[in-house]
Amino acid sequence: MTDRFAEKLGLSASYWEESLNKPVHYRVVRAIPGAILFLLVGFTGGFFGLGGGWAVVPVLNLVMAVPLKVAAASSGVLLAIGNAAAIWPYIVKGALIAIFAAPWMIGQVIGGILGAHILAKVKAAFVRNILIVLLILTSLKLIARGIEGWFGIDIPLL
Amino acid sequence: MSQHTPSSEERPHIPVAGVVYGDTIYWITIAATVIVIIGSVISFVTNNTYIDPTYMLSSIWEGKTVDEIWVGAVGAAPNGHWYLSKLATGNGLTAFGIALGVFSVIPAILAAGYVLFREKQVLFAILALVAALITTWAMIA
């Protein structure tokens, strides 16, 4: 049923895998559960202020069967659109401090360009391993934040 | 996972809407980054700043709120696109560069939506238009 829905939306595509030197064809599945999970990701991001970047790639890759590299690239697009809408209130209220945001923006742009070029060339397994480490670290940080809020203690974790 | 080895070894056609979206954001963001660098240099090297960076940093370390910082610096907190009238100053130019980078999403979505509409992918074109409208509303509201 849900796969039929994904098929109706035409959610299948191909991309050229540089590390394999051949194209990879993929078909997106479970579009409805994916959409529901994105709703939850957006809700938790908005409610707890956690940001949704940590969850977008796993939902795309593990639930919707999008290849990891495509999931990583797509999450960038999704986050850019979502964050662009969310950041304007801060800009017009003067809450975006330019001297702090400027180094972040320069680093983000340069890092983003480098990362995208590297992502296209490395093997998917390498990306997966890095992602697993990052997700574990992010989870630890989020758990620490929750414990801090719950018990009113300070955990010195990044 | 439904990933499988293809029968054809040809390079797949890259969706035009994706290329248009990516190129639009890429070039506007690079232009915005250059503006941010110039603005930051003006802020720190010259005295041509709207808010003194030293005052700003010390106020943040003192724990002042955003409104308190603005009131202390220029007499009132901004409510709107304040940087547009302060482009000749370092802070104003830096803030404009950041805003331009954030703004880049809107023309990129609209351009991609137009391409999707031309390719008769009406549903995705409408979704792109809705996303652009939400972002534009956030910018002007």
- CB atoms A94 and B66 under 8 Å: yes
Q: Which helix or strand (DSSP H or E) is residue B16 part of?
A: helix B16-45
> What is the per-residue pLDDT across A67-118, written as a single tens digit (0 to 9) for each?
988 998 888 888 888 788 888 888 888 888 888 888 888 898 899 889 888 8
**Mean pLDDT of the region A2-15:** 81
Q: Is A8 near chain B, with CB under 8 Å?
A: no
Tell me if chain B has a CB within 8 Å of the CB of A97. Answer: yes
- Chain A partners of B12 at a C-beta cutoff of 8 Å? 13-16, 23, 25
Cβ contact (<8 Å) for A13 and B60? no
Predicted confidence (pLDDT) per residue in B15-60, tens digit:
899 999 999 999 999 999 999 999 989 988 888 888 888 888 888 8
The Cα of B92 is separated from the nearest Cα of chain A by a number of Å equal to 9
Q: Establish whether this prediction's ipTM goes over 0.90.
A: no
Q: CB-hemisphere CA count at 13 Å for A49? A: 3
Residue ranges of alpha helices (H) inside B46-118 are 53-61, 66-74, 90-103, 105-118
Q: What is the pLDDT of residues B116-133, one digit of tens each?
A: 999 999 999 999 999 999
- Cβ pair A78, A66 in contact under 8 A: no
Closest residue to B12, CB basis, from A9, A14, A80: A14
- Among candidates A16, A77, A84 on the partner chain, residue whose Cβ is nearest the Cβ of B102: A84
Delimit the domains of chain B by residue range: 17-104
